[in-house]
Structure 1
């Protein structure tokens, strides 16, 4: 018997909303599917470490964001620009997830790679990290940027986005370092997180209202240009990281103000009439983008558990009505397919703020496991986000494909273990209490 995605969506939407109606104070005992997901996703991350370390059992290490499964049936060929590319955001996620999995040693290797990349950029020394690096052990004096040799053109090919610096990726690199510092205090991790926050403040602080932080810098090193749009997602990242660094002492006043600036921007992006977040501003940095919706922008302000998060919990209803697709969730409003990473973010948010996620959602996530231990970015051949990769794009060319993905695997591990990357604690500790009803 075949079921339509719309029929499944209505059934699971009702179940999910029922689960949201009466949240327990703390996380419920995980079910068998959730426990199995925790075990298998953690094992997938460890396998990725073992594969990418290439015999170097210690030292700084970046993990490839995508790797094809052995069989590869129904999987499109991996784009050459993605083969061996280690995206900073994916690696920050993987490092935090490895902490959740109890593998602090592997998590520190990724953190050490972030620190070295910050200190040994091939061309600049201003406190940034790049959007991506070359996967594998860091054996060169300078951080190696991704790219590949095109034999036909007899030319080294690199990707402009990968060598650029997006503000949110800088914040997530700092978030990994703060998680590591909380687990085992290290002056190097804390100092590097503060350098990253300094770069954000100096290079991306908006010069026009609404006050907040811009998207970053894009392009080759000799002609990079600022990204003047502002992102709700980026600013919640900054708010969390800056507040966390402020609590660690030292530069508390400046970081407290940075956190407040970013959180105030997120608050301005709350759309009270629709009970959801606008994704940010348009290119001018001032006009609010009201048309689209990004799943992560709806969820992360809730998962972050700031003092304002409880006032935004109605946003989960928007997610159910506008991002649901079959058993899971899609990236954009009225999505064209399931986004595994975002579906895991929904599970993580429900566990953190409501104590449990529906069994159907855990089963959907479990079904995406590839034979190499990672989880597919989407069960569909391709899904759209409605976003452009960069200013050189002719249109909305940011897609997810049916490839095993480090970021999806890391979010599944975080959700299944109940570990909140924005707090460095598990839901079972009561660190992320439910909101009053």
Structure 2
């Protein structure tokens, strides 16, 4: 018994260290940008660190920043959290091309100021032209939901209606632009590419619909919106339709036709997020944890794809968060040390300890290979998810489970 207690105390100490270092890192990252609305670089560039690929330099991915804002609230750093939420709210109303409330997948990192939010890009010396990434300037549906979740958390924390209004803008865009009634009804992948001719993505993602179900439900809890519960149920229905009872797992979504299930691939987030994002998930869904252990386990942690080629720090933190919130502290305790081992510097965590890992997914519709990779670089998403897991917040609901 003494040895067990000693192990638990060691794990608790690791968790406390993880809270301290990741919360400090996120707070310092905001403070370094000054006061006012700010978007954080997803891959910070430091002297002596591996060089960030040009296309990722000073790029603030919306998903990562939404996570950072939620994590900062959990860290007790409400001022810094609000600075990021302010930038997301600004983006819903001050896009340089659109007036419909959508957010882009990424923006230029740094203070947000001027008449419109700045998009990412860089001067391509070889081409002698300004270059932008077609995915980064697009609008994936899941990223809309995460922006809304961050904005709704800012509203819950501050009661400032501008955050509620911004969340409603972005969610209403998903309702109008991405809903597909063909069975299984749900929300499609969003839009890829450049305005005014961004390409609609006909596939539907289980993960995106999980995100939307949670975001619409969060709106319904905070505001009397007659459509919110209806939209949440549509998204949830899609997720329920993609539960494979025989294998005890979720299909990742559909093929581009929006109807045919994609049964060959698996994403860790799509497997575990339903357990904490959806209200009263069926008890049978707990079987997915066995599938995750057998199919996504890598070394002491977890990888993104089925039979992964490396450890995904962000996903390992997600498993720790789910375990903590689902009352499985032994699993969470096992992972605190794994996450601490991914330290880069100044409290940031590497996206992966490997040189790179493959998700098994492609970034755009014209890709000829699975080109969505994570690199051995300090990563905002990994750092924020570790803070979320260690503080015990449910990022989909704002609720806590401390032990």
Same fold by TM (over 0.5)? yes
> Are residues 1:246 and 2:220 paired?
yes
Aligned-partner SS, 1:222: coil
Deviation at 1:382, TM superposition (A): 0.6
For 1:359 and 1:42, how far apart are their aligned partners in 2? 19
Deviation at 1:80, TM superposition (A): 0.7
For 2:351 and 2:150, how far apart are their aligned partners in 1? 22
Q: Which residue of 2 aligns with 1:66?
A: 43
Q: 1:279 aligns with which of 244, 252, 256?
A: 252
> Are residues 1:422 and 2:403 paired?
no
For 1:150 and 1:292, how far apart are their aligned partners in 2? 35
Q: 1:117 aligns with which of 79, 91, 102?
A: 91
Distance 1:258 1:29, change over 3 A: farther
Q: Which residue of 2 aligns with 1:265?
A: 238
**Structure 1 segments of 4 or more deviating over 6 A?**
27-30
Deviation at 1:108, TM superposition (A): 0.6
Q: Give structure 2 stretches of 5+ with no counterpart.
A: 1-7
Deviation at 1:191, TM superposition (A): 1.2
Deviation at 1:303, TM superposition (A): 1.8
Asked if the contact 2:214/2:278 (under 8 Å) is kept, the reply is no
Asked if the contact 1:146/1:162 (under 8 Å) is kept, the reply is yes
CA offset digits 1:103-145 (Å, max 9, x no partner) = 0111111111011111110011011000000000012211100
Asked if the contact 2:213/2:278 (under 8 Å) is kept, the reply is no
Q: Give structure 1 stretches of 5+ with no counterpart.
A: 1-26, 430-437
Deviation at 1:250, TM superposition (A): 2.9
For 1:348 and 1:70, how far apart are their aligned partners in 2? 32
For 1:166 and 1:399, how far apart are their aligned partners in 2? 17
Q: Which moved more, 1:187-196 or 1:334-343?
A: 187-196
Q: Which residue of 1 aligns with 2:313?
A: 340
> Are residues 1:373 and 2:347 paired?
yes
For 2:102 and 2:261, how far apart are their aligned partners in 1? 27
Q: Which residue of 2 aligns with 1:150?
A: 124
Asked if the contact 1:69/1:371 (under 8 Å) is kept, the reply is no
Distance 1:279 1:215, change over 3 A: same
Q: Which residue of 1 aligns with 2:263?
A: 290
Asked if the contact 1:302/1:310 (under 8 Å) is kept, the reply is no
Deviation at 1:200, TM superposition (A): 0.4
Deviation at 1:71, TM superposition (A): 2.8
Q: 1:212 aligns with which of 186, 194, 203?
A: 186
Asked if the contact 2:69/2:85 (under 8 Å) is kept, the reply is yes
Deviation at 1:239, TM superposition (A): 0.6
Q: Which residue of 2 aligns with 1:186?
A: 160
Q: 1:44 aligns with which of 21, 25, 32?
A: 25
Aligned-partner SS, 2:101: coil
For 1:382 and 1:260, how far apart are their aligned partners in 2? 37
Q: Which moved more, 1:85-94 or 1:311-320?
A: 311-320
Asked if the contact 2:60/2:109 (under 8 Å) is kept, the reply is yes
For 1:61 and 1:309, how far apart are their aligned partners in 2? 39
For 1:144 and 1:336, how far apart are their aligned partners in 2? 35
Q: Which moved more, 1:78-87 or 1:300-309?
A: 300-309
Deviation at 1:150, TM superposition (A): 1.9
Q: Compare relative contact order (CA 8 Å, sep 6+) and give the higher one, 1 or 2.
A: 1
Asked if the contact 2:171/2:216 (under 8 Å) is kept, the reply is yes
Asked if the contact 1:70/1:371 (under 8 Å) is kept, the reply is no
Aligned-partner SS, 2:200: strand
TM-score (norm 1): 0.88
CA offset digits 1:409-431 (Å, max 9, x no partner) = 000000111111011021139xx
For 2:198 and 2:278, how far apart are their aligned partners in 1? 35
CA offset digits 1:341-360 (Å, max 9, x no partner) = 00000000000002413433
Deviation at 1:47, TM superposition (A): 2.1
> Are residues 1:409 and 2:383 paired?
yes
Deviation at 1:190, TM superposition (A): 0.9
Q: Which residue of 2 aligns with 1:322?
A: 295
